[in-house]
Amino acid sequence: MPESPEVQALAEDLQARLTGRVISGVDVVEFRVAKTRTRPPASLIGMRVNGVARHGKLLDFSVGDSQHLIVSLGRHGWARYPDAAVPPAEPGDVPPGLVVFAFDDGRELEFTDAGGWVSLGLWVVEDPAEVPAVAKLGPDPAHPGYIRADFDRALVGRRKQVKAVLQEQQSVAGIGNAYSDEILHAAKISPVVHASTLTPAELDRLFDATVTTISAAIDVRRGIPVSELKAEKVAAMRVHGRAGEGCPACGGIIRDVTFASTTAQYCPTCQTGGEILPLAAG
């Protein structure tokens, strides 16, 4: 699932490409992606793009005088610019384009979804807060105004596993499964402990790791071609998706644990005092 570092890099790339361009055509291939039926994406034809921003994991295209196209990339969604200069991939490697926007310079922007079910979603609204996923967002650790009080409100006293809290968009915006693993590894905290049990020192480490991990990832993703962002994310992971490999910090073996309908990767030596968690933890 795209998370805030990759979505931020995508938003900045789209901002540079599309600001000032006029939408000349819209082709909705999969009708389920359009979430505002009385305001379909095609209602934006003829309007100029004013800019592109990010809200958590969602894109926000400011269009025309007062319209916003909000795009949720969902679990497997992404953006693609068809470009003859890019060698075509094998047919099986190309996710389907579910909606295509054409612009007055002849270029097209496709939104794709590589999943077995459609998770991509588009809304046309006057206020981004009309989209429930935007309205419920909590403070964003990538924002320069994010402070310790924001973090403490999300974590302190919560009788919920800390990994789940980090992924809870109304508590901490923009973090998903992958970066929550990276943050917890950097902070040397087990993914299954409840937030309410964290000591002041652990909360200090977790706050620092949250801000540093997300901010650093955004910095290094800037300027990477859109088509390479997902691969760059995977390559940069230190523990997420690396079960069975050596921990880059201590050399121990990275392990899997499944709980609350999600899977985490962690280092027992760095995060659990050497304890190997049950494969399915409650």
Q: What is the pLDDT, as a whole number, of residue 27?
A: 97
Answer yes or no: CATH 1.10.3720.10 is held by domain 148-271: no
pTM (two decimals): 0.93
> Each residue of 203-261: pLDDT tens digit?
999 999 999 999 999 999 999 999 999 999 999 999 999 999 999 999 999 999 997 77
Sign of CA dihedral 51, 52, 54, 58: positive
Residue ranges covered by each domain of the chain? 4-135, 148-271
Rounded to the nearest 10 degrees, what angle do helices 200-221 and 4-18 cross at?
A: 30
User: Could you tell me which residues are beta bridge partners of residue 66?
Assistant: none
> Each residue of 32-66: pLDDT tens digit?
999 999 999 999 999 999 999 999 999 999 999 99
Task: Identify the burial level of 45 via C-beta atoms within 10 angstroms of its C-beta, where 0-12 means exposed, 13-18 middle and 19 or more buried.
Answer: middle
| b/e burial code for range 226-235 (CB count within 10 A of at least 16 → b) | beebeebbee
The 8-class DSSP code of residue 41 comes to G
Q: What is the pLDDT, as a whole number, of residue 265?
A: 97
Q: Taking 50 as the threshold, does the pLDDT of residue 85 lie above it?
A: no
> For 4-135, CATH number?
3.20.190.10
pLDDT band at 87 (very low <50, low <70, confident <90, very high): very low
Q: Tell me the CA distances in angstroms from 231 to 2, 28, 247, one per residue in order.
A: 11, 27, 20
pLDDT band at 282 (very low <50, low <70, confident <90, very high): low
Which one, of 59, 79, 61, lies nearest residue 69 by Cα? Answer: 61
Which one, of 140, 120, 124, 119, lies nearest residue 55 by Cα? Answer: 140
Evaluate whether 132 touches 35 at the Cβ level (below 8 Å).
Answer: no
More confident residue, 270 or 90: 270
